[in-house]
Amino acid sequence: MASHAGSHQTASSAETERLGAELAATLTPGDAVLIEGELGAGKTTLVRGAARALGVTVPVTSPTFTIGQRYPAANGVTVAHLDLYRIADLDAEDPELLDDYLAPDTVAFVEWPGGAGGAISERRLSELATRIRRVRLSHAGGDNRIVEIDG
């Protein structure tokens, strides 16, 4: 599996984590990775692999009920992991809600970036993130996943 853009297939959680680690090698502080896919597609598994590769040593879990988590990583970088599934409309939230998660010293992973109603606007993202990457995971039968990574 390569970290470059394109379509990848994984056959296990370990392979999905490994692909996340390869993706992490292409990221720098200030980057945001928007991750889409149905429930159980492996979004958090991909983030777990990326976070470990970036130097996170504590368990990485889904932030579904907390909106986001921040993890100290290597070289003073922070890994932010957000889940906007329960956010119906980001405009109805505190305007600075994402500021601690999308920052110049942070590599951010955002699950369900569309939330329940298009939670993150492209304009807001471009204000907060240096570079935006997009990943889409989908079930391909059994433990197999198709992972599409943009440039």
In a domain, 1, yes or no: no
* Euclidean distance between CA atoms 43 and 20, whole angstroms: 10
In a domain, 12, yes or no: yes
Q: Is 83 helix (H, G, I), strand (E, B) or coil?
A: strand
- Number of domains the chain is built from: 1
Pairing relationship of beta strands 68-72 and 106-111 according to DSSP bridges:
unpaired
CATH number for the domain including 109? 3.40.50.300
pLDDT at 119: 53
In a domain, 80, yes or no: yes
Give the residue numbers spanning the domain of 93. 6-149
In a domain, 119, yes or no: yes
pLDDT at 101: 87
Listed residue (140, 134, 81) closest to 106, CA to CA: 81
pLDDT at 122: 62
- Count of beta carbons in the 10 Å neighbourhood of residue 113: 23
pLDDT at 124: 66
Tokens read off for 72? 């100290």
Per-residue pLDDT of the chain (151 residues; tens, 9 = 90+): 444 689 999 999 999 999 999 999 999 999 999 999 999 999 999 999 999 999 999 999 988 777 889 999 988 899 999 988 777 655 555 656 777 888 899 999 999 887 645 556 566 677 778 898 999 999 999 999 999 999 6
pLDDT at 123: 64
pLDDT at 43: 95
